[in-house]
Amino acid sequence: MEEFVIEGGVPLHGEVNPSGNKNAALPLLAACLLTEEPVVMRNVPQIRDVFAMRKLIESLGAVIEELDGHTWRITTRELAASHLDPDLCRRIRASILIAGPVLARAGGLKLPPPGGDIIGRRRLDTHILALRALGADITYDRVFDIKTSGLRGADILLDEASVTATENAVMAAVLAKGETHIRNAASEPHVQELCNFLNILGAKIEGIGSNALHITGVPSLHGGEYVIGPDLLEVVSYIGAAVVTRGSVKIHNAGVPHLEMVRQVFRRMGVHWEVEENSIFVPSGQSLTVLSDLDGAVPEIKTNVWPAFPTDLTSIAITVATQVTGSVLFHDWMFSGRMYFTDKLVGMGARIILCDPYRCLVQGPTQLYSEELESPDIRAGMAMLLAALAAEGTSKIRNIVQIERGYEQVDEKLRGLGAKIYRELG
């Protein structure tokens, strides 16, 4: 199995282009099952989770032609009534997104439980409640048996602002008879991308970007073209890499309008960047000093639903905080396993107190030292990679398939910025 070998302590300099948004690509590919006409999808990220989703929709009848490395033409003339591969479903959390479009177009499916990162309990109840409200009959006995005699519009109040449940409900509702109102809907940029894409195909979705969506069902969708936006998590990862190595990096096509809250949070750690149209320039010479609260108290960086600071950036921000003067309390109430990777940073020399499964206190700055590591999930794996870039000595990271589930050619992009990172067989 391959592993990364990283010689740390090298400042990064140069320019980089992020890949397409993983969290947008997965529901967008699932949504292609809603139409029998061809869809051209551009800027498709070449990552493991996307390849897994490709295999899933192909198993249901989708035919995919690669027009170039990042452009696919997807045509699903007919949906095959086949059982999905349980092992394939366990590879990615996004396999649950098959439910909405297949239910809407074919009237039912049998869906094995989804997998994905092990970061704590991840409920599926919101998906089930939303689809049942639209007219689905759902039972579970190690496999979800989902069927309907016909979907109909409904007034749905989601019990939590779940991204994937919102996406599933939207994809089911666009072909349901009548009108659907989804309240407490997630509004992340990738949810907005899905809604905009569906409207291009002929759906009627209003309220995009808000937490109240209004959908008027249509009999069918037609084909179209769409360009997937930049992966904001990858953008912030390269911002973090520039900061922890004391380098300077320019990130093109950075999705600047969606990064204002992230910018506010990073400013509290003394991190600044310049905006040039849709590009971000992270200069060297950052102050890297914590900005305390008005009463001098330790600031708290707390995740929340969009447009607040996203949970998937917690790991990156914690690694950045190890190189910042001062103390920061991180609080991620969403996932009970998100913080457990911090013991690896402690082993590298970081001063981190794990208060409970949801909170940790980081005191910096500290010199990090090389270590042999293993990536537990996508985001923690990238955070460890940043720590290795900042560390003194040569580190190894095993299980890099986890990182590559969400980051395209990460080692090549980092080498383009001057990083000394290599692959070798472990």
Distant-in-sequence, close-in-space partners of 34: CB < 8 Å, separation ≥ 6: 101, 104, 105, 171, 174, 175, 198, 201, 221
Do 367 and 323 meet the contact criterion of CB atoms below 8 Å apart? no
Instruction: Kindly calculate the radius of gyration of the chain based on its CA atoms and give it in whole angstroms.
Output: 22
Query: Would you put residue 330 in left (φ > 0), alpha (ψ -120 to 50) or beta?
Result: beta
d(CA 396, CA 205): 47
Q: State the catalytic residue, choosing from 117, 231, 312, 377.
A: 117
**What residues contact residue 138 under an 8 Å CB cut-off, 6+ apart?**
128, 131, 132, 144, 145, 146
Indicate the SS3 state at residue 324. Answer: coil
Q: Could you confirm whether 117 is annotated as catalytic? A: yes
User: Alpha carbon of 15 to those of 237, 238, 254: distances in Å?
Assistant: 14, 10, 12
Residue pair 150/177 in contact (Cβ under 8 Å)? The answer is: yes
- CA count, 13 A, side-chain hemisphere, 334: 22
Strand ranges inside 274-341, DSSP E: 274-276, 279-282, 300-302, 326-331
Q: Give catalytic residue positions.
A: 117
